[in-house]
A = this chain, B = another copy of it.
């Protein structure tokens, strides 16, 4: 394995990942400031690094055998990927940004991974999440979205849970697409146990990932931390069904805070399983999507999903509403313009213009630049 990460760094991260809970801001901050080995040694020698970590820590750390952890994991086909490794998913750096660390949102110390696919393949991936107690409607849609985006080449990331998660995985598998499970327990464990064969299949053909060391059991806290990881690993999150207190909404909130695309699939307003999604859309936290095509328009590689439409950018423009075309026509090519100047040129209200600009940016046709907006390079043609 070629890596910029030292053995000392990797072993320290193994030990630290056994010590703390996922997302613990103290671990993230001190590892970032001191480096994992120095933080590990500081804890081991009970010099208080100001971390607030309890004093029995030294005893626990001293008893750890990180080399043995790595050996045992390797025998199970499990690797421990750390920053500096070639396959480390750089998009997790978003978690280090101000504000997120203190919400138990620090980046993972490392990722335990099982499966033939490299973690850096997830850079352009899509999360499909939702209720465990999905309706048939929701399950069918999750499978259709999983299949549609996997067919377009995007890995489908989910949590291997009952309901929407498993439907999304199975949708991707049905078209021989790439799909990845991120777990709230060790990747050697099957949770839920009924999904053992699904997880075995994912580990054999795709990837099963966790920041928790092998053997770890799932807890509520770990599910919430896992949700942040799904949001941070992917380019966007689609919530298919979610009741008002569904854990899927925490994934959506994380995705929003990390500036990833947040999407929601509507359903009958009479269905409790769609209420959480409707609330996301209603408050502007999620964009409404109704099909894999809608999703790809927002998170697909530019043009990659438009392969059957050779005049990509022009076709994209043609598909815009009249109002969006009016706004697009009013956006300058070079020097950015304020929304109010664009709204005057377009002959539309500021709020309509603002809405249209946000939408045009989502599909890559305009860019925000300081105070103003201008055409994206793609849209010049």
Contact = CB atoms under 8 A, between A and B. Distances in A.
A54 interface: no
10 contacts: A266-B266, A267-B268, A267-B269, A275-B290, A282-B288, A284-B358, A338-B371, A340-B371, A351-B368, A355-B355
Given A269-B267, A323-B256, A347 B281 contact: no
A164 to B, nearest CB: 14
Interface string A278-320: 1001111101111100100000000000000000000000001
A91 B340 CA distance: 24
Interface in A237-256: 256
Contacts of A270: 137
B291 A287 contact: no
A368 B371 CA distance: 16
A192 interface: no
A349 B269 contact: no
Contacts of A359: 283-284
Contact of A294 (B282, B352, B357): B282
A305 to B, nearest CB: 17
A70 interface: no
Given A284-B359, A288-B278, A358-B284, A347 B268 contact: no
A12 interface: no
Contact of A355 (B267, B284, B321): B284
Q: Which 4 residue pairs are nearest across A and B when measured between Cβ atoms? A: A266-B266, A284-B355, A269-B290, A281-B288
A18 interface: no
A141 interface: yes
A: contact size bracket: 35 or more
A98 B348 CA distance: 11
Given A269-B267, A370-B340, A371-B340, A284 B356 contact: yes
A283 B98 contact: no
A321 to B, nearest CB: 5
Contacts of A368: 350-351
A137 to B, nearest CB: 6
A137 B370 CA distance: 46
B281 A281 contact: yes
Given A256-B352, A358-B351, A368-B350, A268 B268 contact: yes
A35 interface: no
A259 interface: yes
A282 B278 contact: no
A339 interface: yes
A299 to B, nearest CB: 14
Contacts of A141: 269
A356 B351 CA distance: 11
Contacts of A151: none
A358 B358 CA distance: 11
A77 interface: no
Contacts of A205: none
A363 to B, nearest CB: 10
Interface centre among A350, A352, A368, A370 (most CB of B within 10 A): A350
A60 to B, nearest CB: 35
Interface string A251-277: 000001001000001111110001100
A355 B355 CA distance: 7
A90 B314 CA distance: 42
A218 interface: no
Nearest to A281: B288
Contacts of A361: 351
